[in-house]
Every structure is written in C-alpha cells, then in structure tokens.
Amino acid sequence: MATKVSRLVNYATKYELVLTNGSATYLVAYTARKGKTDLIKAIRARGESMLAICQLDDEARFTFTTPQSAQLGTDWTVRFTGRTQKDAICTQSEHRYVGTVAVEIQHRFSPDSVSPLYCEHCGASETDHRL
C-alpha cells in the first residue's frame, strides 16, 4: 500500500468513476475532473467492457441523470463515488477494474485434461487472465 500511495505524491488528484447496480461495483476509471465531459470520455473508452459486464448489446444507450452520473439499461449506473484514487488505496477498498472483469466474462474457461483451466478463446491459462 505504501508504494502505491507514494507513487501518487507528485500527481494531481484523480476521482473514482464506477459502474454499479447496487450489489456489484466495478472501477471504470480515475479521472482528473468530476464533470460530464470526463464521464463521457470514460464511457467512450470503456464502453465495450461495461456492456459485457451488464450483458447488454451494442444498441444500449446511456442516459445522463446528472452531470456526474449516467444510467445504463435499467439496473446499472455509471457515477462518481466522491472518493479519490488515494482514498481507495489508503482504505484498501479498490474496486475490480471493468477491463479485467470483461475479459473474464468474454473468455469462457473449460477444464482441460490437466488441472489448470484454459481459455477457449485464446488458449491462455486462467492465471494469465488474473482470475
């Protein structure tokens, strides 16, 4: 933890943006500002991963409910939490990153004849995908 926080000393504050449905919460990005522009940039950059997690098709739309949050589908919300990156590290409560979770969802693992699991899509072992 100390090394992660020490890397942030000379950098500007970054604000936490998450994808949540009330029971599950995933990290979308840490942004320099907490505005609609940053929300839109993060949605554009991480949109495919968020759709995979929400199990929605490419036709799904984001509806902006406030300048700091957007609704995705009926259950999911993308919003700023009010926490900073430093807060998340110091409290040891960082959320799982949407990109990592989307890879896990998109890659179906099946048991091989040997004990490790291998990805049917790319052949990588389950540890290569950081499960």
Confidence check: pLDDT of 69 > 90 = yes
Per-residue confidence band for 124, with pLDDT thresholds at 50, 70 and 90: low
Instruction: Name which residue leads in pLDDT, 9 or 69.
Output: 69
Exposed/middle/buried for residue 118 (C-beta within 10 Å: 0-12, 13-18, 19+) = middle
In this structure, of 15-19, 23-27, 73-77, 101-105, the range with the lowest mean pLDDT score is 101-105
Tally of domains within the chain: 1
What's the mean pLDDT in 54-75?
88
pTM attached to this predicted model: 0.72
CA angle 130, 93, 1 (to 5 degrees): 80
Domain that residue 89 falls in: 2-129
Q: Report percent pLDDT > 70 for the chain.
A: 73
pLDDT of residue 10: 67
Q: Is the pLDDT of residue 87 over 70?
A: yes
Name the band, by pLDDT with cuts 50, 70 and 90, for residue 130: very low
Give the residue carrying structure tokens 């939490």.
Answer: 81
Q: Which residue did the predictor score with more confidence, 121 or 35?
A: 35
